[in-house]
Chain A
Amino acid sequence: MRFYRALLHAYPASFRAEYGEEMCAVFARRSRGLRNPLLVLLLWLETLFDVLFNAAMVHLDILRQDLRYTARTLARSRGFTITAISVAAIGIGASTAAFTMLDHVLIRPFPYARQDRLVKLYEDHSFSAGRMGTRWDMSPANYRDWKRLSTSFDGLAMYRGLSVNLIAERDPQQIEGASVTFDMFPVLGVKPMLGRAFTAEDDRDTAPGTLLLSYGLWQSMFAGDPSVLGRKVKVDGMPTTIVGVMPRSFYFPRREAQLWTPTRFSPRHFEDRTDTWVYAIGRLKPGVSLQTAQTELSTIAGQLQHAYPKELAHVGATVVRLRDDGISAAGRVMLTALFGAALCVLLIACTNIANLLIARAMVRRKELAVRAAMGAGSERLVRQMLTESLILALLGGTIGLWLAKSALPLLAKLVPDSMPIAEIPSMDFRVLLFALLVTCATGIGFGVIPALRACRGGDSNDLRDSARSGGGRRERLRSTLVIAEVAGSVVLLVSCGLFLRALWRVQAIDPGFRSDNILTLRTALPLPKYQQRAAREQFYARVLAEARQLPGVKDAAYISFLPIAMGGGVWPVEVKGQPQDLTARQTASLRFVTPGFFSIMSIPLLTGRDVSESDTFNNQFVALVSQSFVRKYWPNQNPLGQQFNFGNFDRVVVGVVGDVHVRGLERTSEPQVYLPYKQHDQVSPWYAPKDLVVRGPENTQALAPALRRIIREADPEQPVSDVRMLSDIVEADTTWRRVQVSLLGAFAASAFLLAAIGIHGLLAFAVSYRTREIGVRLALGAQSADILRMVLRDGLLLAAIGIVIGMPLAYAASVKLQGLLAGVQPSDPLTLLSAAGLCIFMTLAGSLAPALRAVRIDPSTAIRSD
């Protein structure tokens, strides 16, 4: 019988209280005298089914009643319903969107097997006064020796980025990809979905060309044709066979990579240990920690230092988890900040809804008291109000989910291109689960308190009382909630304000050149077709001459890489007469240019001359250097005529130009050296001029088709890529900041709006609550201005307390974000004052309507009421 009683707990408490005893009696009668164990078992089985089925039906009946009742009551107070649903939608939408991003970038696995065992290896060049960093690409010889000597890895493979000219079905196209050693795919633990991966045979120096396609390229260029395997294409002019297609979800090493070719080392690649251009990926053996691998590689690097003291002085090793490699520490802080902001908004939203429901519960005290007096148990009332809250939260959650989905493309701009993950995150079931949890937590959170409160207060006093009494404690709770909302808004407003100031500061930085009306495009000349100097020079001469003939074009020039678009490309500097300190190896960025580049870019020529067509390979090797280069090597001396070794030759300075932010507006750049394009041989072909800059009329963009035609006529197999305005490149440098500001701005605006709604709600309720008191005051001679002041003072007091609490919190949050603030101080007075001012404005705006309503109260009606 005890078991049967326990079973009855499946029924709602009210049902149990009503019929439990009788049901026990019925069960006792039925089980009396049953001896046969089979019959006893049958009875229990039947009873179990009976209880479970009927309990579910009773619950369903109650739910149906509650839903009907909820629909009626919510429809009656439409204003409340709409406010509560929108507030929940904003909170849930913001937090879901932020979680999706966080999940996408930080939690979601890479498309590789057992990715927690994957590490990336770098040379550590940090000996150089902190300038060179701990993560440096490595030389093939070092890669070979690390691989040979280390025991921590199941496999070690290398890759390097690649940009090739691919000719298949249609026009030549410039495609991004990577060159990998054959063991890269086993190390990553990924197999092609079609065809085969590379083998050791493919890596042989003399093997025929082979190629793996990405799923995306297979679809776009070959329409997903499975017979693509074995097809011959041309990669940088060389006949190559397609041997496989990688799975759809596979990205490596960056999102843009669309094809993979084998790496073919020749003996000369292993000659120079300072020529670093490959990256290594390793898979840790089971049981080997990151720390063990790091220690082992540091030891190996130390051994190599001894063996090659000149080239490898102080070159160490760095091992990082692949997962931690793609996203910078700043990016991590930013995403976390975003998530914090979203949680803040969710919290404010919940606070607001709780406040709305408490106010509503106070208004409905009488109705609930009547229902309690008529015999509705407290469980039924709590359940009813919980249903109401959950319905509000679910509706809000549905709209919030839709909001989040619409916001994702904007948020996706925050994902760094360098991460091998899809561009736009998709909402998967984990995110949906999170949204559901947030929704329900919100529902229960703001449902339980008002419901319990209503039941505890639901005694007979409520039947007698008017809506005036018993407000003190509740009013205090509601005021506290509003203060929390204001404090939360202050934190978000201050953070957003600081980011905005940082954005302005960065945008105000002079890049060192003028970017207006300059069209740029890239023609990367493939090898071996353009191995000969004459072939290259002929191409440049023809394209530049014809481009200059186009109507409106002022001038055109070529450079190795555009500033900001490409930050790397540095070379060690040796200055005659200055001892070369190996522990502080100096570098400068190296660019080859054609004459006229500086005037097109408005980079000032401070002294000397520009490079000229007569600076050929057979004449003296010359260089133009930037101002900071002169300051560093020849302070207070005439730089013209000075010599230094750079790019494998001694070069004479013939001119000095202004400094340029090569690495972007926010990063320190190395001093710059510009060399004449005709003196390029015997420096890596990578540095060959490839970016065309054209200064044109107002509408420079319109020149693109004409330029493409010129290039097609010069070489029909030459692809054109990266057609962009230079101003777009500069602007793109601050994109993540602008996105960040707009996102935080959106969160701050939501918080701001929610807090205003909160203050308005509280005061509106307080005014209607105190109608009689205000009436008495007016009757006793108080002026409208006094009443106005009284209501506004209440609101401002809440705001003031909120601001006082919020400011230190905001400061603490900003200190954590300091790395992202581009030098703006967390205590920036303008930002703090603006945030406080906005909060006061918000309070006044929120208080105005209730204050005016208080002023319009008619004393005689107010006193007569009740």
Chain B
Amino acid sequence: MRATLPDPHSLLPLPAATFHILMAVADEDRHGYAIIQDVAARTNGELKLSAGTLYRSIQRMLEQGLLLETGDRPAPEDDDERRRYYRITPYGATVARAEARRLTQLVKLARESGFAPGRA
């Protein structure tokens, strides 16, 4: 684990998969398959993360300090011992917010150029 975390802006722009995973674990801890399902549901099935992409992203996010693996597990009847649960860190939330701001800014600029619907 890193002693000092780098400036959140140094990680931007985030890879799409990373941002989606952060959103999936924003309000509750999830295991890998649940993240895949959540992302698919949020994007109306447009983005289906593959197992490889998911766990490679998770590995990097753990190293970067965006996620942590949690020991809190659901009731045994809902659990599968092979599953591992991931939680967003405060630093992960900061980075996600910074990314959201960056994207909002971008959309605003796109609107001003007439590329996107809405107010100029």
Contact = CB atoms under 8 A, between A and B. Distances in A.
Given A18-B59, A19-B58, A19-B59, A25 B82 contact: yes
Contacts of A61: 56, 60
Contact of A25 (B33, B52, B53): B33
A425 B58 CA distance: 54
B85 to A, nearest CB: 11
B59 A50 contact: no
B79 interface: no
Interface residues of A, number: 21
A22 to B, nearest CB: 5
B77 interface: no
B50 interface: yes
Contact of B56 (A21, A22, A54): A54
Contacts of B50: 46-47, 50, 54
Interface in A4-31: 15, 18-19, 21-27, 29
Across the A-B interface, the 6 shortest Cβ-Cβ residue pairs: A54-B52, A50-B50, A19-B55, A50-B52, A26-B51, A23-B51
B36 interface: yes
B80 A25 contact: yes
Interface centre among A19, A21, A27, A51 (most CB of B within 10 A): A19
A50 B58 contact: no
A23 B80 contact: no
B73 interface: no
B33 A29 contact: yes
A822 B84 CA distance: 79
19 contacts: A15-B55, A19-B55, A22-B82, A23-B32, A23-B52, A25-B80, A26-B32, A27-B51, A47-B51, A50-B53, A51-B52, A53-B52, A54-B50, A54-B52, A54-B53, A54-B56, A55-B52, A61-B56, A61-B60
B31 interface: yes
Interface string B59-83: 1100000000000000000001011
Contacts of A58: 56, 59
Contacts of A25: 32-33, 80, 82-83
Contacts, number: 52
A68 to B, nearest CB: 13
A57 interface: yes
B33 A15 contact: no
Interface residues of B, number: 18
Contacts of A15: 55, 59
A18 B84 CA distance: 10
Contacts of B84: 22
Contacts of B56: 54, 57-58, 61
Interface string A46-72: 110011011101100100000000000
Nearest to A20: B55
B87 to A, nearest CB: 16
A50 B49 CA distance: 10
A738 to B, nearest CB: 61
B29 to A, nearest CB: 15
Contacts of A21: 82
B55 A23 contact: yes
Interface centre among A15, A19, A26, A53 (most CB of B within 10 A): A26
A21 B58 CA distance: 15
Contacts of B51: 23, 26-27, 47, 50
Contacts of A18: 59
Contacts of B58: 19
A22 B52 contact: no
Contacts of A22: 31-33, 55, 82-84
Interface in B75-119: 80, 82-84
A23 B51 CA distance: 6
B70 to A, nearest CB: 14
A46 B49 CA distance: 11
A51 to B, nearest CB: 6
Contacts of B80: 25
Nearest to B53: A54
